[in-house]
A and B are shown apart, each in its own frame.
Chain A
Amino acid sequence: MKRTVTEKILSRASGRDALAGSIVEARVDFLMTNDAVGELVVRAFEQLHKPVWDARKTAIMIDHFFPASTEDAARVHALLRAFAAKHGIALHDGEGVCHQIMVERYVKPGMVVVGTDSHTCTYGALGAFATGIGSTEAAGVLATGALWFKVPESIRVNFSGALPQHVHAKDAVLHLLGTLKADGAIYKALEFGDCKALGIAERMTVCNMAIEAGAKNGIFEGKTSADSGAEYERVMGIALGSLEPQVACPYSVDNVKPVAEVAGTRIEQAFAGSCTNGRIEDLRVIAKVLKGRRVAKHVRFLIAPASRSVLGAALDEGLIRTFLDAGAVMLNPNCSACFGGQGMLAAGEACIGTHNRNFRGRMGHKDAKIYLASPETVAASAVKGEITDPRKFR
């Protein structure tokens, strides 16, 4: 039987032939939850009156509302800290965005990982099957270590060539989303062929946004590769060399345009960070743009490194000095402005960010506008005060 990468991993984890369309119960190798939904997980778990299946395979992240700026957030954090201590579960308290910590600490190729956050699909960059689940299901996994899955059909995407200057993995995935559309991969796996031109950080950016096409998971071939002759719903080829900088425009992630079409749009805020593009590789690109320049007077440029170790690396490399000298605002590693946790927008304001969603009201007022782009496009736009084509930036 010829199998896709996802079918191979789910076959291993379920002990049977997990072919697309079948429903299997798979053993879970790791479970992650966080403070956005953690209270629901704890409440549901406590109703089951069962012990934790394996505390060593579980982690709790305090990342969405850290440090707490409301009493409700403080209450949830206290609850999660007590729950983690009681059950001996690893707690990452203010160390950064859950997905970055997961990749830094826990995820290994071939694993089945579930998390109570839709961007759990990021870990496919390492060749793991990883998907977002709800809090009630997470409570079930916490008690049993298993979960049922409908094995997804796969859409195969082959990247070829190399990215041109000023074009990044974010542009490649935005281009893909513009083609597939927001519901183009519902219940499907996006399988990416191994591609020498894309490193782990770039693969994380690509897999991170698989959910924005509705996909169950995004996964790169690596240690586990697909059988030749595996069945795909669709095979797509993307020549990296033909891409140009892209911008996802309000109010959906699939409303993708070449940057030239929106260049000149005034912005009041720029944001760099998140599980999509908050890594050291991204901060280096931003520092290169900001070096010796100033953020436009009317722009707030917020930078939140994805984790404490990313922040540390940026500090060691002198990037933080560059950011401060340029007039950017450094925020602690957390989910930050991506979902409106910090850096909210007023009516009529516009923000360009490196994050993953531009839904109406996500970052504040329902009439605020959110644009999504690569770290380089975001940094160039912050300096110019308007959406800027990084290829034309001087």
Chain B
Amino acid sequence: MKIVGNTHKFGDNIDTDVIIPARYLVMPLAEQAKHAMEPIDAAFAKSVKHGDVIVAGKNFGCGSSREQAPLVLKHLGISAIVAKSFARIFYRNAINLGIPVLESDAPDAIEEGARVEIDVAKGEITASGKRYGCTALPQFLQEIINDGGLIAHLKKI
């Protein structure tokens, strides 16, 4: 799987209350998605273009188990998330929704708005002509992502 998109850059410990505040959780998805990242970047939801990539620091997605967090990002068109590390429930949720989540030190060097190319199978990120490694996902997780998430994957097998 290869991904090309422009980045939205965030710092460390981006928590799920920031990604989608709890008071919006029971709204229809399209309504919820308008509030993604609202506490730290009220313009985020409007600025995301289909295929964009999030790059972030350590512990991305910490906090609650709400799957709405990766779900609103997917709904807005985020095609991959590259972070220095992920909180574990967010990490599993993202994979189960078919969103590539890649651990890498690249976010330090990548600028907001940069165009990046990601080779998920190889575990490689390219930005401004420079290549960065990222942790390659095990085959069985790549299969879930390639199928578009756990439910689609389970229906297939």
Contact = CB atoms under 8 A, between A and B. Distances in A.
A135 B25 CA distance: 13
Contact of A136 (B39, B58, B96): B96
A99 interface: no
B93 A36 contact: no
Given A47-B151, A361-B18, A72 B26 contact: yes
A361 B151 CA distance: 32
A139 interface: yes
Interface string A350-391: 000000010111100010000000000000000000000000
Interface string B45-84: 0000000000000110011111110010000000000000
Contacts of B126: none
B83 to A, nearest CB: 11
Contacts of B97: 136
B15 to A, nearest CB: 5
Interface string A209-238: 001001010000000000000000000000
A366 B39 contact: yes
B9 interface: no
A93 interface: no
Contacts of A258: none
B144 to A, nearest CB: 10
A186 B87 contact: yes
Interface in A103-149: 115-118, 120, 132-137, 139-140
B51 to A, nearest CB: 23
A4 to B, nearest CB: 18
Given A340-B23, A361-B18, A40 B65 contact: no
Interface in A289-330: none
A183 B22 contact: no
A39 B71 CA distance: 13
Interface string A168-209: 000000000000001100110000000000000000000000
Contact of B58 (A47, A65, A115, A183): A183
A348 B84 CA distance: 32
Which of A75, A76, A360 has the most chain B CB atoms inside 10 A of its CB?
Answer: A360
A165 interface: no
Mostly helix, strand, loop or mixed at chain A's interface? loop
Which of B17, B23, B85, B151 has the most chain A CB atoms inside 10 A of its CB?
Answer: B23
**Size range of the interface on B?**
35 or more
A183 B92 contact: no
Contacts of A40: 67-68, 71
B40 A366 contact: yes
A48 to B, nearest CB: 6
Contacts of A39: 26
B149 interface: yes
B26 A214 contact: no
A11 interface: no
A133 B89 contact: yes
A228 B105 CA distance: 37
B26 A35 contact: yes
B117 interface: no
Contacts of A341: 22-23
A137 B93 CA distance: 8
A186 B87 CA distance: 6
6 contacts: A37-B67, A135-B67, A183-B87, A187-B88, A359-B39, A362-B17
Q: Which 10 A-B pairs have the closest CB atoms?
A: A361-B39, A134-B93, A183-B59, A132-B65, A366-B39, A359-B17, A136-B96, A339-B22, A134-B67, A72-B26
